Chain A
Amino acid sequence: MKQYEAVIGLEVHVELATKTKIFCGCSTEFGGAPNTHTCPVCTGMPGSLPVLNKKVVEFALKAGIAANCKVSRYCKFDRKNYFYPDNPQNYQISQLYLPICRNGWVEIETSAGKKKVRIHEMHMEEDAGKLIHDEWEDCSLVDYNRSGVPLIEIVSEPDMENAEEVIAYLEKLRCMMQYLGVSDCKLQEGSMRADVNLSVREAGTRAMGTRTEMKNLNSFKAIARAIEGERERQIELLETGRAVMQETRRWDDNKESSYTMRSKEDAKDYRYFPDPDLPPIHISEAWINDVCASIPELREEKQERYQKKYGLPAYDAGLLTESRALSELFEETAKVCGNAKKAANWFMGEVLRLMKEKSLEPEQLRFSPGHLADLILMVEKKEVSAQNAKRVFERVFEEDIDPVAYIEEQGMKIVEDTSLLNDVLNRILDENPGPFSELLGGKEKVFGFFVGKLMKELRGKASPDTVREALAKEIVKRS
């Protein structure tokens, strides 16, 4: 059998996190009752006038600049015409001729190393409504709450070869959008959607094969399976002397196979033309500069800084920067307690462990970094045992309690009270002459027995280290 390679390009739709829709003052809030966020504009009533949400342009610029794109200083909207009930105007307002950003790239990292994936363009457009099938009356029901929610479509060049690269690219975009605050990119909720264009060719050749477009991919796993499935399907066709048809296919993740949605023959003719309702957009140098200044430190820069400035291992820096929310909590904790390494240890250990145990996303964390910092400082000053500190942190993590007050209340605070320690030590040794003589006789195990007894009696008023030290001194003294 010949060797084949896949050539993959992606069209990614990202829903922007604006408060209102792209062309009207309706809320974009997710999950409202049907048609509660609609108005004459987003339901396509005749005579209504769309007015562009400035934030959409800002968000698109942010995304484009972060992805190293060239900004079109002059851009405008076009109408893409098609009839479908989820599209009440019978056209979608999009950008064909002059998209807001072009010619960018992002760097991805896979097991094969680093690689650049080029971005062909990014454009702004509106989302469509939602259709539900009504079995009872055998009809469809339409909810226009999502109609007019702003999207950016990010079109890559066909620079990817396998599922691992595609997923690395999507993760990269998602992380970037989340850091920029322009989208939460949740595949399950549909705020990030990917269509995969794939063709295969004989390894080493340059000519492109006929490609198909795959839709309905709503998880990273589904994307990986769909890519593998489509690659094999196309190779099978070529191997048996048949041709790949240019078509749009819909992936069924339950059946792990795809079927034809529409072929080239009935491919749609969208008859794009400039939207006369929307005046063009001029993007000034000053505007671009403002947007550049508003771009926060992104993941790669953070990772580098954590390694250089805090001396963290690359692995830790990677995990701590996976989300902006987590990295901000970490940085604030490190700042307050003044010890980034110790803070990192707590995050890598306890914070990640509890997040996993309670299946929480970084955005859902509610503890204040100041409280974790207080706890770290108390452990450092040996005011609480490491074991107790972990227990206290569970309460901080869940209820954001004040650890200093709590430790005091619970009597967990270690007070190095030497006279109390000496009193208790002497009493215990006197009360247990048998074991003590064994200890003097060199029986190491009995040492632990005495430490345990002392700790119990002192109820955390002394640290284990101090107790061990005092006991050792007493042994020397009495032997």
Chain B
Amino acid sequence: MSKMIDEETIENVCILAKLSLNEEEKKKAREDMQRILDYVEKLEELDTGNAEPLSHIFGDKNVFREDIVTNDDAREAMLFNAPRAKEWQYQVPKTIL
């Protein structure tokens, strides 16, 4: 039996992911997450003792770019999608450190 997803875990995940779910949605999310864990548990049945840990799915390595400036000022295009902007800056709700 895999770890049970309890109420507390769902609450914590909601806080971390900044989600506000109603009771119905929480119940659904709990079932979905439980299914994911059960699936992972199924995978654990395989003996992977001799396999190297996989860190990247393509097996690529050392993909680099040279240190050359290629981008111009594109702030108009960049700010085009911003819901609110002011003086070429993204305007967001008051955030204090």
| Contact surface of A with B, Cβ cutoff 8 Å | 18-20, 24-27, 33-40, 43, 51-55, 57, 76, 81, 83-85, 131-134, 137-144, 250, 261, 269, 271, 274, 276, 278-282
Contacts and interface: CB of A to CB of B under 8 A. Distances in A.
Contacts of A280: 55-56, 61
A274 B61 contact: no
B68 interface: yes
A26 B75 CA distance: 12
A469 B90 CA distance: 79
Nearest to B84: A139
Contact of B64 (A18, A51, A85, A138): A51
B94 A139 contact: yes
A24 B90 CA distance: 20
Name the residue among B55, B79, B93 with the largest chain A CB count within 10 angstroms.
B55
A83 B18 contact: yes
Contact of A53 (B16, B64, B79, B87): B64
Contacts of B12: 269
A20 B94 CA distance: 30
Contacts of B89: 34-35, 132, 141-143
Given A85-B92, A139-B92, 14 more contacts: A18-B67, A19-B69, A25-B69, A35-B78, A35-B79, A36-B73, A39-B78, A85-B90, A85-B95, A143-B89, A278-B56, A280-B55, A280-B56, A281-B61
Contacts of B66: 53-55
Lowest 7 A-B CB distances belong to which pairs? A25-B70, A54-B64, A141-B89, A279-B60, A55-B67, A142-B90, A35-B75
A227 to B, nearest CB: 21
17 contacts: A35-B89, A35-B90, A39-B74, A51-B65, A53-B65, A53-B67, A54-B66, A55-B67, A133-B96, A139-B91, A141-B87, A141-B92, A142-B92, A278-B63, A279-B61, A279-B63, A280-B55
Interface residues of B, number: 36
Contacts of B71: 24-27, 37, 39
Contacts of A55: 66-67
Nearest to A40: B78
B57 interface: yes
A19 B86 contact: no
A20 B67 contact: yes
Nearest to A284: B62
B65 A52 contact: yes
A185 to B, nearest CB: 19
Contacts of B95: 84-85, 131, 140
A27 B62 CA distance: 22
A76 B60 CA distance: 12
A271 B69 CA distance: 33
A134 B65 CA distance: 37
Contacts of A131: 95, 97
A24 B70 CA distance: 8
Given A39-B71, A53-B64, A54-B65, A140 B94 contact: yes
Contact of B55 (A25, A134, A274): A274
A144 B75 CA distance: 10
A261 B97 CA distance: 8
A139 B89 CA distance: 12
A51 B74 CA distance: 19
Nearest to B70: A25
A76 B56 contact: yes
A137 B55 contact: no
A27 B69 contact: yes
Contacts of A53: 64-67
Contacts of B61: 279-282
B26 to A, nearest CB: 19
Nearest to B78: A38
Interface string B33-52: 00000000000000000000
A52 to B, nearest CB: 5
Contacts of A39: 71, 74, 78
Contacts of B86: 134, 137, 139, 141
Interface in B1-31: 12, 16, 18
Given A35-B79, A38-B75, A276-B57, A133 B94 contact: yes
Contacts of A19: 67-69
A52 B91 CA distance: 29
A52 B79 CA distance: 25
A104 to B, nearest CB: 23
B14 to A, nearest CB: 13
Nearest to A56: B67
A384 B86 CA distance: 63
B92 to A, nearest CB: 5
Contacts of B78: 35, 38-40, 43
Contacts of A144: 90
A132 B87 CA distance: 12
A76 B92 CA distance: 33
Nearest to B63: A279
B82 to A, nearest CB: 9
Contacts of A40: 78
A269 B16 contact: yes
